[in-house]
Structure 1
Amino acid sequence: MELDETDLAIVRELQGDGRLTYETLAQRVGLSRPAARTRVQRLRESGTVRVVAIVHPAVRALSASAHLAIDTHGAADQVARQVAALPQAPFVTLTSGRRAIMAELRTAGFGELERTVERVRALPGVRAVDSLVATRHVKDPYLLTDEPTVSALDDVDEHILAELEEDGRLPFAELAGRVDLSAGATRSRTLRLLEGGVAKVVALVRPDVLGMGYLCGFSLRVTGRTAEVAGTVAGFERVTFLSTCLGHAELVGTITAESFAAVRTTLEAMRALDAVCGVESWLHLELVKERYDLGPHTA
């Protein structure tokens, strides 16, 4: 689907807040309310954009995560799809570089994380797996990095979250009918969940749709205080994801850019940091899976 500048402006607004009212959205992009509504519907019906709620990992008891670099015997495509079939793997890509596949795991504790890594190692076609255990998500385009301030959720809250995970723009009146509450009570509960950091409603869209089709993963070796370097790297405009981690590197992240030149410029800026003593990078060639509406699993 071909997007014009107005479509792109709408997508960017929904990436920041997927539940923006059509009236507010229209004002921000310079359209009438009906025109804004029509454009959003067209973007969603074409599959260009999905607007969904992403629940904070802590709420789903997903307290452990890791980044895997996977080498294969022979072709990598089928192996990547086997990894993507695991419910603990929200993100899987085919990549260039030393390893053919990169994946992210999120699990309910380190015991399950260990078992899931062992499952990946045992998959047919897997030659080797390098793991980086994440300690803190510093920057994430989809997840709230701060801990949620709402802790006790009842069955109605969970039902609301489940509905919004499928359609983040459900009107309060329709959502109320599905969870068997009044529209006012549903609105109050939903806002409590969103404002309390339990979930975030965002537009999921491929970076190439926004003219940012060059995705480069990287890992950094750091001397001194990792937190200080992480703060600097997270401030780079084209760094869209960053985690601190344990393993053969202290930081792992993603650059999303409009060209190879922009990727190179960002990598060079990292290499120029005094505290960075090593940089490894790889290109994401194909996004196999990106789905963050994950619940607790059994490994």
Structure 2
Amino acid sequence: MDLDDVDERLVRALQRDGRASYEALAQHVGLARSTTKARVRRLIDDGGLRLVGAVHPAVFGLNQLGHVIIEVDGPVREVARAVAEIDETSFVTTAAGRFAVTAELRTGGLDAFSRGLARVQAVDGVRSVQVVTYLRIWKDPYFPPGPLKSPGPLDGIVLDTADHALLEHLRVDGRASFVELAAVSGLSPGAARARVLRLLDAGVVHIGALVRLNPLSRVHTVGFALTFDGAAEPVARRIIELDEVDCLATGLGWCNAIGTIRAGSLDGVSTALEDIRSTPGVRSVESWTHLRATKEEHDLARPLTSPTP
């Protein structure tokens, strides 16, 4: 799937608001509504774009998230496949650079995270791992930004059967109409709309564009790790303002922050990395290029009806 500049602008707009109207999207990119709708449909039909409701991990009982980068002895594909088979992993890629495999782990707590990490370390071919456990998601098209704490977005909110039905349907189709959502939840369209807005406002769900690494496209996806000179918050706030920065999380471990750049050219990647390096408070930057996704489950890593203990 090849994306031109207009496609990229549409994708970024949809990452911010996956339910944005075609009129708003058309105004954003300067095209007719019909042309804009056709563009979005092509992106979806080509298989590279999905518009989904990304549910906060706390809904699944997943309160411990982290990133693992892996150095490998020998070929990497079998290592990546073995890591992807571990239940605790929700995202696994092969990469170019010192780190041949990257993975995200999502578990119910630190003990489960430790067990998942041990399984990763035990995979044949894994030489060493570097780990950062997330404290806060600053920017991510795949689930609502915010601090990772329990009960998180569920503080003061009790999800009933209708809420779960809405979330289950939005996970598959983030742009489902309120009439469709009413049908699956047993609510009226007006009540379904009110419920969805409440879930969005509370950060229980974020509806956005999920762009898969496969099929491969001309869009370059580059991961980066940062160490800071001081407090994370002011640095993170500057970095997430960069359009090319697709996601950013801060945490504890071998670095202070992990993020991803998406750009349509190597020049765009280079410019973004230079902008990051020149950000006040950034001490060091290490980067790698994502080549192929072996596992891309994100919030779908656990069934909605079966929280992790």
- CA, structure 1 residues 274+145, in 2 after alignment: closer, same or farther (shift >3 Å)? closer
1:126 maps onto 2:93 in alignment = no
Q: What is the aligned counterpart of 1:258 among 264, 274, 284?
A: 264
Kindly state the Cα deviation for residue 54 of structure 1 after the two structures are TM-superposed: 0.1
Kindly state the Cα deviation for residue 157 of structure 1 after the two structures are TM-superposed: 0.7
Equivalence map 1:41-190=2 (5 Å): 41-146=41-146, 148=153, 151-190=157-196
Scaled by the length of structure 2, the TM-score of the pair is 0.82
Q: State the one-letter code of the partner of 1:79.
A: V
Scaled by the length of structure 1, the TM-score of the pair is 0.85
Instruction: Give CA-to-partner distance per residue, 1:143-194, whole Å, 9 cap, x none.
Output: 2223537621012211110111011122222222223333333222222212
Kindly state the Cα deviation for residue 123 of structure 1 after the two structures are TM-superposed: 2.4
1:236 maps onto 2:242 in alignment = yes
Instruction: Work out whether residues 91 and 296 of structure 2, in 8 Å CA contact, stay in contact via their aligned partners in 1.
Output: yes
Kindly state the Cα deviation for residue 209 of structure 1 after the two structures are TM-superposed: 9.4
1:218 maps onto 2:224 in alignment = yes
Question: 5+ unaligned residues in a row in structure 1: which ranges?
Answer: none
Q: Provide the rounded CA distance (Å) in 2 between the counterparts of 1:173 and 1:4.
A: 34
Instruction: Work out whether residues 76 and 100 of structure 2, in 8 Å CA contact, stay in contact via their aligned partners in 1.
Output: yes
Kindly state the Cα deviation for residue 208 of structure 1 after the two structures are TM-superposed: 9.7
Kindly state the Cα deviation for residue 288 of structure 1 after the two structures are TM-superposed: 2.4
Residue matched to 1:292: 298
Instruction: Work out whether residues 3 and 218 of structure 2, in 8 Å CA contact, stay in contact via their aligned partners in 1.
Output: no
Kindly state the Cα deviation for residue 211 of structure 1 after the two structures are TM-superposed: 8.1
Kindly state the Cα deviation for residue 36 of structure 1 after the two structures are TM-superposed: 5.3
Secondary structure, in 3 states, of the residue corresponding to 1:181? coil
Instruction: Work out whether residues 150 and 196 of structure 1, in 8 Å CA contact, stay in contact via their aligned partners in 2.
Output: no
Secondary structure, in 3 states, of the residue corresponding to 1:169? coil
Instruction: Work out whether residues 136 and 244 of structure 1, in 8 Å CA contact, stay in contact via their aligned partners in 2.
Output: yes
Q: Provide the rounded CA distance (Å) in 2 between the counterparts of 1:197 and 1:74.
A: 42
Instruction: Give CA-to-partner distance per residue, 1:219-258, whole Å, 9 cap, x none.
Output: 2222222333333333333222222221222222222223
Q: Provide the rounded CA distance (Å) in 2 between the counterparts of 1:258 and 1:46.
A: 17
- CA, structure 1 residues 71+193, in 2 after alignment: closer, same or farther (shift >3 Å)? same
Secondary structure, in 3 states, of the residue corresponding to 2:243? coil
Kindly state the Cα deviation for residue 77 of structure 1 after the two structures are TM-superposed: 0.8
Question: 5+ unaligned residues in a row in structure 2: which ranges?
Answer: 147-151
Residue matched to 1:31: 32
Kindly state the Cα deviation for residue 24 of structure 1 after the two structures are TM-superposed: 4.7
Percent identity, aligned pairs only? 42
Kindly state the Cα deviation for residue 15 of structure 1 after the two structures are TM-superposed: 2.5
Instruction: Work out whether residues 50 and 210 of structure 2, in 8 Å CA contact, stay in contact via their aligned partners in 1.
Output: yes
Secondary structure, in 3 states, of the residue corresponding to 2:89? coil
- CA, structure 1 residues 10+257, in 2 after alignment: closer, same or farther (shift >3 Å)? closer
Q: Provide the rounded CA distance (Å) in 2 between the counterparts of 1:36 and 1:8.
A: 12
- CA, structure 1 residues 276+23, in 2 after alignment: closer, same or farther (shift >3 Å)? closer
Aligned Cα RMSD in Å?
A: 3.0
Kindly state the Cα deviation for residue 76 of structure 1 after the two structures are TM-superposed: 0.9
Matched pairs, number: 298
Q: What is the aligned counterpart of 1:276 among 282, 287, 304?
A: 282
Instruction: Work out whether residues 14 and 209 of structure 2, in 8 Å CA contact, stay in contact via their aligned partners in 1.
Output: yes
Kindly state the Cα deviation for residue 2 of structure 1 after the two structures are TM-superposed: 5.7
1:227 maps onto 2:228 in alignment = no
